[in-house]
Structure 1
Amino acid sequence: MAWNEPGNKGNDNDPWGNGGGGRRGNDQGPPDIDELIRNLSKKFNALFGGKGGQSGGSGGSGGAGVSAGMLGGLVVLAAVVWAAMGFYTVDEAERGVVLRFGVLQNEVVMPGLRWNPPIIDEVQKVNISRVNTRSYSNDMLTTDENIVTVSISVQYIVLDPVRFVLQVRDPQRGLDQAVESAVRHVVGGTTMDRVLTQGRADVAAEVRERTQSYMETYQTGIQVTQVNVENAQPPVAVQAAFDDVIRAREDEQRAQNQALAYANRVIPEARGEAQRIIEQANAYRDEVIARAEGEAFRFEQLLTEYEKAPSVMRERLYIDAIQEVLSNTSKVLIDVEGGNNMMFLPLDRLLSEASDTTTGATPRLQLNSQQIRDLADQVSREINSQSGSDRARVQSVPVRR
């Protein structure tokens, strides 16, 4: 008899512990699948308070109560876990955008500790203070049909978190496409020379304005703060030629600066020299005029005195003229009366022997009237001593320097 047949008295052991079946002898048969399913169904019913739990009398009722309490505890525990999952923190630099079942809520979540029902609400946090940077590099065609390689960097911030999250599916990709379009438009309308040299700042400003207009049109919530042209160079095949052109322009600018510096130095000097010559000419003019006027006045005075005493004035004018002429010469004239015995005294050589040993110049010896008289007296005494009886009178004409 099988272990699960009704006539079995428990001689065969039930492998599932029901005591309703057994085995005959030492032979063990396979379990009954239907009975196994029924037993599992009873246990699940008892666990969740089903009718199968009441077949055991009063003990079954107690098991149903325990199962209901466990179910309630599990429900409470699940509710606590669900509520705890709704707490989150928004940083100071962030703002939160709340979607409830996919519908945008009006209020933007501000910084702090916040709670939203999980699964029901979806909160997306957006950093609105961080400056983000995107770099781009590509070959572009200029308006003069030259190819130039331009590398730029774009800095931007998120100005409107709601638009940044909802209006565009991928805001950063939209920014990339807008920047590339703006760069190609600006570079395509600019000559290569302007892009490579002094026009980089203007190109960057135009690209920023055009990109920002695109972002406002798309309503991405992005504000472009800065665009920098990091590098702009011609293709590699012609790089050497363009480097030579750039060096030539730098040399031209340096030459212009040197010429300007020279002009700034020479022109003031020339103006000062011209002013000095003008002042000297004015001074010479005033001097000549004043001297001419003085000579004219002196001549008038002499004429007046000459009319009063002509002979006296003639003699006086002669003496003054001789004195003026002889005062400019180094000759000494000695007149000896009563004989020709005269000692030669080279006064001009004596006057010219005094020389400056340091410079090699020969300055003239300056003698006053008294010194010349003393020198003439010495000459007279020497002549008198040589002649013996003849007395000579030496007359010396004073020479004034």
Structure 2
Amino acid sequence: MAWNEPGNNDKDPWKNKGGKNQGPPDLDELLNDLGKKVTGIFGGKTTKGGPGKSFSSIGVSILLIIGLVVYAFSGFYTIKEAEQGLVLRFGQYSGTVEPGLRWKWTFIDRVIPVDMQSTREMPSSGFMLTQDENVVNVEMQIQYRVVDARNYIFSVTNADDSLKQSLDSALRYVVGHAKMDDILTSGREIIRQSVWEELDKIIEPYQLGLIIVDVNFKDARPPNEVKDAFDDAIAAQEDEVRFLREAEAYARGIEPQARGRVKRIEQEALAYKSQIVLDAQGEVAKFEKLLPEYLAAPEVTRQRLYIATMENVYSNTSKVMVDVEGGNNMMYLPLDKIIQQQSTNTRANSPQSYVPVSQPSQNSAPSTSDRADRFNSGRN
């Protein structure tokens, strides 16, 4: 028969313990016994139901105070300067905290720190099909940072993974609508800008809380099987650009020289014109001053003009006249010096090489002596 069957039985294990009829132990009695034992250890005397009971109340209070202090200190946390904290209360978003020392309810609040200032990088690469049905390997890298911590954490499951997929989609879309020559050579900047714009359009509806800082076009190359042919094509295009630049530089250098040469010739022509006009005016002035002298003494003036003319003629010739009559001495003449001096005088009196020199004609102006003779004959 079980000890707890109805009826009179004394088989309860909590009764007759130690030969006495007693019930299960009480919590207060356990605490009192513990207090008595502790008091006995420290030499204190206890009375029944008095000091033991007060000691148990004090112990519970001390434990409660210690627990509260530990709980209070466990709620302090720090948000770094470059971060923002998202506070979740029972799993629900309740606010954002700024950098500094903060406090939260332990086991109630949860804080998620988010880096807001660091610039992050994300690469993307792969073989892609172009518009002209060629395969090209493109490598691109973007730089981004977080601008909205709440959207970055709660808008999608993983904002970084969503951005990665969006980048791959934008890159393949742009490369698929471009030609291979543009991707490999002159259209790289256009491809970069197009990928940036397309990526912004893709991530805008998802509100990822991210902003694209920069897009870098790292490399674009054809498959290894056709790499040599494309290298030759690129080298030819670069040579074409170089030759065009050299031609433009030559044109910019030779054109100012030609203009300067033309300007110099114009200035020399104007100077020669002025010289001829001034010489003519001088001859006229000389004739006007000589005419009264000739009218006053025609013979003397004629002889003077003849002698001056002959002196001018003989000074420009290489002939030397020597009178050796009545002498036996050998005369040394520095003919080389005389000829050299005559050549120097001839070059000095001749006009510039580019100015045409006309031969005197029947209609040319007469010399001073001829004009004087005709004037004198007219008077006679």
TM-score between the two structures when normalised by the length of structure 1: 0.64
Distance 1:344 1:327 in 2: 28
Please name the residue that 2:25 is paired with.
53
1:95 aligns with 2:84: yes
Give 1:344 shift: 6.0
Distance 2:180 2:68 in 1: 68
The alignment covers a number of residue pairs equal to 302
1:156 aligns with 2:144: yes
Please name the residue that 1:380 is paired with.
none
1:273 aligns with 2:261: yes
* Structure 2, unpaired ranges of 5+: 1-10, 15-21, 35-52, 343-380
Give 1:199 shift: 3.2
Aligned-residue RMSD, C-alpha? 3.6
* Aligned-partner SS, 2:97: coil
* Aligned-partner SS, 2:161: helix
The AA in structure 1 aligned to 2:30 is: G
The AA in structure 1 aligned to 2:90 is: F
Matches within 5 A, 1:136-175: 136-175=124-163
Please name the residue that 2:19 is paired with.
none
Give 1:139 shift: 1.6
* Aligned-partner SS, 1:219: coil
Residue of structure 2 aligned with 1:182, choices 170, 178, 193: 170
| C-alpha contact (below 8 Å) 1:139/1:147 kept by paired residues | yes
| C-alpha contact (below 8 Å) 1:352/1:363 kept by paired residues | no
1:351 aligns with 2:334: yes
Distance 1:335 1:321 in 2: 26
* Aligned-partner SS, 2:30: helix
Please name the residue that 1:244 is paired with.
232
Q: Deviations over 1:158-187 (max 9, x none)?
A: 111111111111111111111111112222
| C-alpha contact (below 8 Å) 1:159/1:223 kept by paired residues | yes
Q: Deviations over 1:268-311 (max 9, x none)?
A: 33322222222211111122222233334545555665555554
1:199 aligns with 2:187: yes
1:63 aligns with 2:36: no
| C-alpha contact (below 8 Å) 1:215/1:221 kept by paired residues | no
Distance 2:33 2:61 in 1: 11
Distance 1:322 1:187 in 2: 94
* Structure 1, unpaired ranges of 5+: 1-34, 43-49, 55-59, 337-341, 356-360, 365-401
Change (3 A) 1:96 1:51: farther
Please name the residue that 1:104 is paired with.
93
Give 1:108 shift: 0.7
Distance 1:275 1:224 in 2: 58
1:230 aligns with 2:202: no
Change (3 A) 1:352 1:165: same
Q: Deviations over 1:94-150 (max 9, x none)?
A: 222122222221x21222333322333232221112222111111222233322211
Change (3 A) 1:253 1:215: same
Distance 2:61 2:231 in 1: 81
Residue of structure 2 aligned with 1:115, choices 63, 80, 103: 103
Q: Percent identity?
A: 37
| C-alpha contact (below 8 Å) 1:53/1:64 kept by paired residues | no
Give 1:193 shift: 2.5
* Aligned-partner SS, 1:350: coil
Distance 1:51 1:109 in 2: 57
* Aligned-partner SS, 1:52: coil
* Aligned-partner SS, 2:25: helix
Residue of structure 1 aligned with 2:75, choices 86, 105, 130: 86
Distance 1:166 1:185 in 2: 28
Compare relative contact order (CA 8 Å, sep 6+) and give the higher one, 1 or 2: 2
Please name the residue that 1:285 is paired with.
273
Q: Deviations over 1:53-79 (max 9, x none)?
A: 16xxxxx96325458959957983666
The AA in structure 2 aligned to 1:351 is: P
TM-score between the two structures when normalised by the length of structure 2: 0.67
| Larger-Rg structure | 1
Residue of structure 2 aligned with 1:253, choices 241, 246, 258: 241
* Aligned-partner SS, 1:99: strand
Which shows bigger deviation, 154-163 or 92-101? Answer: 92-101
